[in-house]
Amino acid sequence: MEKIKGVYTAIVTPFKADGSINWSQLKKLVDYNIAGGVDGIVPMGTTGENPTLSEEEHKEVIKKTIEFVDARIKVIAGAGSNCTKTAVKFTKFAKSVGADAVLSVNPYYNKPTQEGLFKHFSAIADIGIPVVVYNIKGRTGVNVETKTLIKLAQNKNIVAVKEASGDIGQIMDVIAQKPNDFSVLSGDDNMTYAICCLGGDGVISVASNIVPNRILKMVKFALDDDFENAKKMHYELLPLFKSIFIETNPIPIKSALAMKGLIEENYRLPLSKISAEKREKFKKVLEKLRII
């Protein structure tokens, strides 16, 4: 796989009112993002509400997304778990149905040591498909430390990190020490501009669900060293970046997509609809940015 760069949308999973997956709306979102110019789609990440899908549904979302994309752009399939055996199983499945790479999150809740993290991701890499490590301490309770990540980056199948640690110092250390063919992707829209300016390679984005063309333009400016135009777009979009996390992701972004008429606003418990007060504030942000 060529080096991962650019904008990859962490796509939501649309549901019908009865809680079943809305396949027609998922296809609509895939086509909308492709038309917006993104470099890839990432199904079954946190934004896809993967904790509430059954194993069969999880696999079907990956398979259908690959079918809907139809080789027009890349698909990085969410295939992580806090059980190494399960993560390996999902990774084998993603490879078998034609995913270009997998996104594998830090094992959550069981809080492994750095040695355990190294062995976990190494076992996944043994499947023989490009692996993107998803480092998000805020949701998992464990951080992939720089020394561990650089050691993992020596594995030819571990090709990138989605950095959502929120620690800009750590991210700079990773960029400074990584191999040239290893990608550092922002995992937080709020930090994409900074990470790209510091030598990162792009973003796995929540915001690009609804404004793919604008996120792509900002990232392209930054990767082309046009930092002034990138900065201008960053600050224009900053109210959106902040608003999509006014409640737990993906509640706000699904609300925004519903306001735009792209999906129905349905979730699976324990997630539920955005509060009326926050919805009204969010709607004003979307209107001001001419998103709706």
Residue 62's Cβ-side half-sphere holds a number of Cα atoms within 13 Å equal to: 29
Cβ atoms of 202 and 183 closer than 8 Å? yes
Q: Is residue 104 part of a domain?
A: yes
Q: What is the pLDDT of residue 138?
A: 86
Low-confidence stretches of the chain (pLDDT beneath 50): none
The pLDDT of residue 287 is 97
Q: Is residue 15 part of a domain?
A: yes
Q: Is residue 51 part of a domain?
A: yes
Q: How does strand 40-42 pair with strand 74-78?
A: parallel
Inside any domain, residue 257: no
Parent domain of 149: 6-225
In the numeric block, which tokens belong to residue 46? 């946190």
Residue-level pLDDT at 192: 98
**Residues recognised as catalytic:** 134, 162
Helix (H) or strand (E) holding 34: helix 23-35
Q: Which of 116, 180, 111 is nearest to 124 (CA)?
A: 116
Distance CA 142, CA 133 (A): 13
pLDDT at 102: 98
**Residue 238 within a domain:** no
Helix (H), strand (E) counts: the chain: 12, 8
Neighbours of 210 (CB within 10 A): 27
Distances (CA, A) of 237 to 9, 64, 230, 258, 279: 16, 31, 11, 19, 18
- Give residue 78's pLDDT: 98
Asked whether residue 172 is domain-assigned, the answer is: yes
- Domain contains 120: yes
DSSP state of 207: G
Does residue 285 sit within a domain?
Answer: no
Total domains, the chain: 1
CATH classification at residue 211:
3.20.20.70
Tokens of 178: 């990584």
Query: What is the number of other CB atoms lying within 10 angstroms of the CB of residue 246?
Result: 17
Q: What is the b/e burial string over 192-204, where b = at least 16 CB atoms within 10 angstroms of the residue's CB?
A: bbbbbebebbbbb
